[in-house]
Amino acid sequence: MAIETKIKMNKFNIELIQAINDWQASGFGDNKKRIVDEILKHSQSVPEKYKTLPSPCYRRVDLTGKHNLQIGLKLSLPEAESSWSFDKEVAKTFKSGVPPKNYTGVIFKIMPADKHFKVILNFDALFSDKDFVETCEKYKHYISNYEEGIERFENSEKEIILVVEELKIEQIWAYGGFSSSKEELAKKYFGYKPNKDEKRFFENQLNTKGIKLGGRWVTGEAKNRTVKKHIEAAIFVNNKVNTK
């Protein structure tokens, strides 16, 4: 009982640490809302500096056919409680990078000045606090499934939890796609189907210039062109469906 009282008196109470651990360890499903409610409940006394968005953050989303069409037509997607990262590289490499070709991978970016979002808790700020890290370590034996949550991830994902009303198409920062195969690119390079020596030459050219084929993220003007094509394709598909 004395230990329990001591834990509750700490700036970072054990119930909050358990809820943060549950978020990191969980595959979510139906648990997401419950965990968020627990984080909100037990973080009320946590200083406001842990509940702010001080810099841009990023979230990768894999769009299926339905959501591809929806964001292309309505220019937005509904969203709820979700995990974002301050590190764009975390968003780019999440789940092994660019998703398979049957999905459309996009990375959304939220700025501090944007509207329609609320900060639940800034994990990155918490894990940058020596007191929080020491409290987690001190009481880890009281945290259920600690090794699959805080111990495993710590601050590797530079995470912040937001509640976002909707994701707007203009908030897309990067768009995932795949380059043509090496054989297809070699054929375009030579203007005809190359022989074995020419293929070897072409491969050496790629290696010399550091060009990697396969999935990659495009940003800037290339991303803008892709988003424009996405909208046009969604409108075309929608018109075809409605004229049948």
- pLDDT tens for each residue of 98-120: 887 778 899 999 999 998 899 99
**What is the rounded average pLDDT of the residues 192-206?**
86
Which burial class, exposed, middle or buried, applies to 206 when counting CB atoms under 10 A from its CB (0-12, 13-18, 19+)?
middle
Q: Please, which pLDDT band fits residue 86 given cuts at 50, 70 and 90?
A: very high
Rounded to whole angstroms, the Cα distance separating 203 from 98 reads 23
pLDDT at 213: 67
Checking 140-148 for CB contacts under 8 A at 24+ apart, the result is 142/3, 142/7, 142/14, 143/14, 143/17, 143/18, 143/21, 144/18, 144/21, 145/21, 145/22, 145/25, 146/21, 148/24, 148/25
Residue 159 sits at φ, ψ, to 5 deg, of -95, 150
Contact 174, 107 (CB under 8 A): yes
- Is pLDDT of 7 > 60? no
**What is the rounded average pLDDT of the residues 158-176?**
95
Percent of the chain with pLDDT over 70: 91
End-to-end CA distance of the chain: 70
- Is pLDDT of 124 > 60? yes
Q: Which of 39, 9, 10 is nearest to 23 (CA)?
A: 39
- pLDDT tens for each residue of 17-33: 999 999 999 866 668 88
pLDDT at 40: 95
Mean pLDDT score across all residues of the chain: 88
The CA-atom distances, in angstroms, between 175 and each of 98, 110, 201 are 9, 15, 31
Q: Domain-by-domain residue ranges, the chain?
A: 2-179+214-242, 180-213
pLDDT at 28: 64
pLDDT at 1: 39
- Give the largest CA-CA distance in the chain: 80
The CA-atom distances, in angstroms, between 241 and each of 106, 107, 235 are 25, 28, 10
Sheet order of strands, 172-178 included? 117-121, 159-164, 81-85, 57-63, 104-110, 172-178, 215-218
pLDDT at 27: 67
Rounded to whole angstroms, the Cα distance separating 179 from 198 reads 20
- Is pLDDT of 165 > 70? yes
